[in-house]
Amino acid sequence: MSNKNSRRDMIKKAAALAFASTTLSSLTNRVMAHEDAMDEKLKGNINHSVCAWCYNDIPLEDLCKAANKMGLGSIDLLDPKDFATAKKYDLTCAMVASINKDWGITKGWNRVEHHDRLVEYYQYLIDETSKAGFPHLICFSGNREGLADELGLKNCAQGLQRIMSYAEKKNVTIVMELLNSKVNHHDYQCDHTAWGVELCKAIGSERFKLLYDIYHMQIMEGDVIRTIQENHPYFAHYHTGGVPGRNEIDETQELYYPAIMKAIHETGFKGFVAQEFVPKRSDKLASLKQGVEICDI
């Protein structure tokens, strides 16, 4: 082989090695960038949770595992039997469920004839919530069924006051959810912020608050940000949801959640905001991650 050909081969080999080195470096940088993105922490201005019922077709263990990986701190609306699963993945339950075959959204505290059995049921739930170290336990007004709002409020206050000293002793906050009666929960009584705030005042305990569900109150009242600014001392917890449809909270719906989260953060709120939309896309966990990122201001 001539010196000329030998030199040409050496140049080709050097070029090939340089190309391979550049390609490997580029690939390595892309992988590292992807890993950095996966490991990126949430900003910490909003404490994130997710409502378990929206993902009923995903085993709770898998949902908890995914929530932990996304940086969430809580799974909402768990029964006591599921507390251990949440704790296994270092998650709290920022809002404990309180629905069984007898009690729930339609049948609640606004009827005096329900009070004795509800008191017994809630004492059990307060005990379980307190033992787990969780902060909040949900409750519902029940449907009107012809009951005037003033009398329904009076009845709710009368019944709930029977459990408040016990909740105070156990460091558990009882939280009534505001729901819309226009689309999803026809005839539900606690369907306006003003009614809920008056109930809080009537009960007069720091251990009784409201769950301000942004989806539900956008349907009933609108004016979400001003309502939060003016009434936030009465709100212990927030839920999200896309309007209309209760699906993803992205550009497909009418609310701009970053501005709402900014308003919540500016009130000094230290509790949790839980995603409570029902994903309509096939990759439900991707929708959840997107919702969390939208709210992570």
Query: What digits encode the pLDDT tens for the residues 238-289?
Result: 999 999 999 999 999 999 999 999 999 999 999 999 999 999 999 999 999 9
> Which stretches of 155-199 are assigned E, i.e. beta strand?
173-177
For residue 194, pLDDT beyond 80: yes
Tokens of 231: 């009434």
Q: Count other C-beta atoms under 10 Å from residue 240's C-beta.
A: 25
Residues 6+ apart with CB under 8 A from 15: none
Q: Does the pLDDT of residue 39 top 80, yes or no?
A: no
pLDDT recorded at residue 101:
87
pLDDT of the residue at 40: 54
Q: If you average pLDDT over residues 180-202, what whole number do you get?
A: 98
Residue 199 or 102, more confident? 199
Q: Are residues 28 and 54 in the same domain?
A: no
Distance between CA 238 and CA 212 in Å, rounded? Answer: 5
pLDDT at 13: 54
Per-residue model confidence (pLDDT) at position 35: 38
Same domain, 31 and 174: no
CA distance 179 to 126: 23
Over 60: is that where the pLDDT of 1 sits?
A: no
Whether 69 shows a pLDDT value over 50: the answer reads: yes
For residue 8, name the pLDDT band (cuts at 50, 70, 90): low
CA–CA gap between residue 63 and residue 66 (Å, rounded)? 5
Give the H or E element holding residue 76: strand 74-76
- On the question of pLDDT at 2 being above 70, the answer is no
208-213 and 235-239 strand pairing: parallel
For residue 127, which of 66, 155, 169 has the smallest C-alpha distance?
169
pLDDT digits (tens, 9 = 90+) for 161-171: 999 999 999 99
Same domain, 158 and 284: yes
pLDDT digits (tens, 9 = 90+) for 215-241: 999 999 999 999 999 999 999 999 999
Contact 273, 240 (CB under 8 A): yes
Find the mean pLDDT for residues 177-204. 98
Average pLDDT of the chain, as a whole number: 91
Q: What is the CATH number of the domain that holds 82?
A: 3.20.20.150
Q: 34 vs 141, which has greater pLDDT?
A: 141
Q: Distance of CA 89 to CAs 65, 86, 133, 227, 285, Å? A: 6, 6, 15, 35, 17
pLDDT at 116: 98
- Quick one: pLDDT at residue 10? 52
Burial 67-94, CB ≥16 within 10 A → b, else e: bbebbbebbbbbebebbebbeebebbbb
Instruction: Please check whether residues 126 and 35 belong to one and the same domain.
Output: no
Distance of CA 6 to the CA centre of its chain: 69
Q: Are 153 and 14 in a shared domain?
A: no
Bridge pairing between strands 272-275 and 47-51: parallel
Q: How far apart are CA 209 and CA 49, in angstroms?
A: 18
Amino acid at 2: S
Q: Which has more pLDDT, 10 or 136?
A: 136
Compute the Cα dihedral for 213, 217, 222, 227 and give only its sign: negative
Residue for token pair 């000329």: 4
My answer on whether 22 and 162 are in the same domain is: no
Domains in the chain, number: 2
Q: Are residues 191 and 232 in the same domain?
A: yes
State the number of CA atoms in the 13 A half-sphere of 268 facing the CB. Answer: 4
> Is the pLDDT assigned to residue 20 strictly greater than 80?
no
Co-location of 55 and 161 in the same domain: yes
Residue 136 pLDDT > 90: yes
Does residue 173 surpass a pLDDT of 60? Answer: yes
CB atoms near residue 12 (< 10 Å):
10
Domain ranges, residue 29: 1-40
Record the tokens describing residue 114, joined without a space: 């329900």
Q: Are residues 35 and 165 in the same domain?
A: no
Specify whether 22 is located in the same domain as 56. Answer: no
Domain check: are 179 and 55 in the same one?
yes
Confidence (pLDDT) at 12: 55
- The CA–CA distances, whole Å, from 81 to 31, 77, 125, 263 equal 41, 12, 11, 35
Same domain, 193 and 264: yes
